[in-house]
Structure 1
């Protein structure tokens, strides 16, 4: 049934409000197939000491003022999957969130670009000490000393294109604008580095755009094809893609703009993925995201030497948003040290979605928490989400003990 004109105007205002708020936060962005994560079948629900507490924690997040309409968490242990859910996948339907629902993974897409680049390091098509000057000499000379390692660890000093006024003006005027993803760095090409490369940590969406461009230069192949061959296919990710437009595949885990006392407004397809690309444009499902983070963290994609380099963590380097516990930055991977132990992974947020994906260092146990609003715009709600994430990490690590 078509929306009334006033309702449609209200919806457009909410979409624009969500995009403008995200811009202000810098977060508009965000081989042989492996056996499916659920191949062993899920353990019986409701028999663990944490099950009810975890369900209550998710429900409390959904029921909080301005909370997300839906939340879904997936725990995997040695191929066994347990799904926890609260709220709905689509307001007004009562349909619960499911592990096969498509969603934006936001900045968790940076881990995918890390998987591509580090796989190419293993194949000697790239080296961690390759510089922008070596690989992308057409970019500003002031950036030429920046290395692939520094890009992956956010110590490059590259100015963030998503914070440029020109970029933000375009998105404000038309959130679905189709960008040339390979020219996103043009928005900051007139700027020097924010600091000498390697001297400090600063999260920048430009870093992973440069990583993808390096991968393309080294192979002569589109980044999307590299994702397919080096990541999706080896890990059996059949529901993961990097679109250029604003549409999402069905079935959908709808994302919303929320505010206390106001009805949620669907912003699932409010923005074009072309303006995020390798820094935040990937679309996946909770099931595929779980399979990815286990494969990326574990031994299936990378050699021991490359994984060792990946885990050169910089204390205090926090993902965006910060994950549970104390954060430290590796190469397109973060270490989260919680009260119950340590996991490795990535987070992300964009209008309609906030993501957390992590795994034990061996990749055999994984946890993802996906919620259907950008909770980072409310500090109290984000603090509550981080506490929920830590509860799931604790459950994951306790259940993994003998």
Structure 2
């Protein structure tokens, strides 16, 4: 029998968002409906009170955008300057250990502070790639199998869902209804964006619903998929998903500034995220929403530097066996990430293929109030690109089109072998 939504989720909590620890109470002008829409789009995230890693200037093996391609710098600057554009943007290109950083705008409005690779940020739905990394690492260790079903691993979930496999969850072909689109969930977030959810019971919001379509019959992006993936990982190992992330992903890849919080606070220093609209001043929403309502589907906090290391390890051969990588990269054409990445998108297992005019990279995108992310790598993992901007660009179709073109510029630069200063990229024009 499906479990009932807990009484704690009845939507009656209505405490107003309090001010963060380092500044005045934000004005919270943006409509609650906008937050609810963002949740339904797939990408809530929150903060953490873990110790902050110090932001550092570029170190050995790094050169800043002043020595890079001016066209790439202009493309990023034009994105920030566009109507309703993000207050800040940072792109990191890596080739064989050499890192090039491009940045435009500011990490915090009113301060002029530059964006740095060591600044924390919400990675939004790129967190789904992390849950893919955990699950596929467990497949390599034979603790899980891609053909494991919900019925076998999570028999307490509705019987109508029992035939869904781990493979289908990772590829968004499961048919699970999306908990973040449920009215009850959205009502709670609208009333209290910082509400603390029991992350392991998020599927209760849709436990009374049948599958949206027969498992494996088509593609549909759903936040519920990665919640179920994390629960499967916990059931298979008897360990918390957070500890599995640390053991299987963070430590092997050397991710020192990546965490999965439950609260709404961000570690310092961080890239401030904003609600933006043409003709209106940006509003800081960095700590507006609790991560507990996103968890394995979108709650991870990281840095541009860590995100670059992660995507190189996950898309490349460093983390997974050849056989598991072969399954991971069985791509379904037309499966778009959320938001769509550059070029033509295709869905693998916790990973997307982006086929651009310059070639193909593998990665993931994400968006949440205050942040939009793109992280990708070549198949050998030796070249990576991340583009992080400090607003939810997907709410503005024209701006999203511009962002996707900018991302493609950086992909082309990554794949071009002539080196910086000779990439010949033109800034995107409207």
- TM-score normalized by the length of structure 2: 0.87
State which of 283, 302, 306 in structure 2 corresponds to 1:265. Answer: 283
CA apart distance, 1:39: 8.1
State which of 83, 87, 90 in structure 2 corresponds to 1:69. Answer: 87
Please, what is the CA RMSD of the aligned residues? 1.9
The SS at the match of 2:228 is helix
Residues 15 and 265, structure 1, Cα contact 8 Å, conserved in 2: no
Residue in structure 2 matched with residue 275 of structure 1 by the alignment: 293
The SS at the match of 2:125 is helix
The SS at the match of 1:262 is coil
CA apart distance, 1:22: 1.4
Whole-Å Cα distance in 2 between the matches of residues 202 and 332 of structure 1?
13
CA distance 1:24–1:274, change in 2 (3 Å): closer
Whole-Å Cα distance in 2 between the matches of residues 399 and 113 of structure 1?
32
Residues 135 and 229, structure 2, Cα contact 8 Å, conserved in 1: yes
CA apart distance, 1:15: 6.5
CA distance 1:343–1:400, change in 2 (3 Å): farther
State which of 158, 162, 168 in structure 2 corresponds to 1:150. Answer: 168
Residue in structure 2 matched with residue 345 of structure 1 by the alignment: 363
CA apart distance, 1:180: 0.2
Say whether residues 1:324 and 2:342 are aligned partners: yes
State which of 16, 19, 22 in structure 1 corresponds to 2:32. Answer: 16
Whole-Å Cα distance in 1 between the matches of residues 112 and 348 of structure 2?
40
Residue in structure 2 matched with residue 42 of structure 1 by the alignment: 62
Residue in structure 1 matched with residue 181 of structure 2 by the alignment: 163
Whole-Å Cα distance in 1 between the matches of residues 65 and 351 of structure 2?
31
The SS at the match of 2:252 is helix
1:24-51 Cα offsets, whole Å, 9 max, x none, are: 5454369xxxxxxx88612575455xx1
The SS at the match of 1:12 is coil
Say whether residues 1:80 and 2:98 are aligned partners: yes
Higher helix share: 1
CA apart distance, 1:151: 0.2
Residues 64 and 101, structure 2, Cα contact 8 Å, conserved in 1: no
Whole-Å Cα distance in 2 between the matches of residues 241 and 47 of structure 1?
32
Residues 321 and 349, structure 1, Cα contact 8 Å, conserved in 2: yes
Residue in structure 2 matched with residue 333 of structure 1 by the alignment: 351
Residue in structure 2 matched with residue 98 of structure 1 by the alignment: 116
CA apart distance, 1:254: 0.4
The SS at the match of 2:220 is coil
Write the mapping of 1:174-185 to structure 2, written as runs, cut at 5 A. Answer: 174-185=192-203
CA distance 1:204–1:21, change in 2 (3 Å): closer
Residues 110 and 280, structure 1, Cα contact 8 Å, conserved in 2: yes
Residue in structure 2 matched with residue 35 of structure 1 by the alignment: none
The SS at the match of 2:229 is helix
CA apart distance, 1:20: 3.3
Residues 15 and 267, structure 1, Cα contact 8 Å, conserved in 2: no
The SS at the match of 1:281 is coil
1:364-386 Cα offsets, whole Å, 9 max, x none, are: 00000000000000000000000
The SS at the match of 1:66 is coil
CA apart distance, 1:11: 1.6
Write the mapping of 1:336-375 to structure 2, written as runs, cut at 5 A. Answer: 336-375=354-393
Count how many residue pairs are aligned between Structure 1 and Structure 2. Answer: 388
Residue in structure 2 matched with residue 222 of structure 1 by the alignment: 240
Write the mapping of 1:203-242 to structure 2, written as runs, cut at 5 A. Answer: 203-242=221-260
Residue in structure 1 matched with residue 3 of structure 2 by the alignment: none
Say whether residues 1:131 and 2:111 are aligned partners: no
1:40-83 Cα offsets, whole Å, 9 max, x none, are: 612575455xx100100000000001000000000000011000
Residue in structure 2 matched with residue 199 of structure 1 by the alignment: 217
Residues 43 and 297, structure 2, Cα contact 8 Å, conserved in 1: no
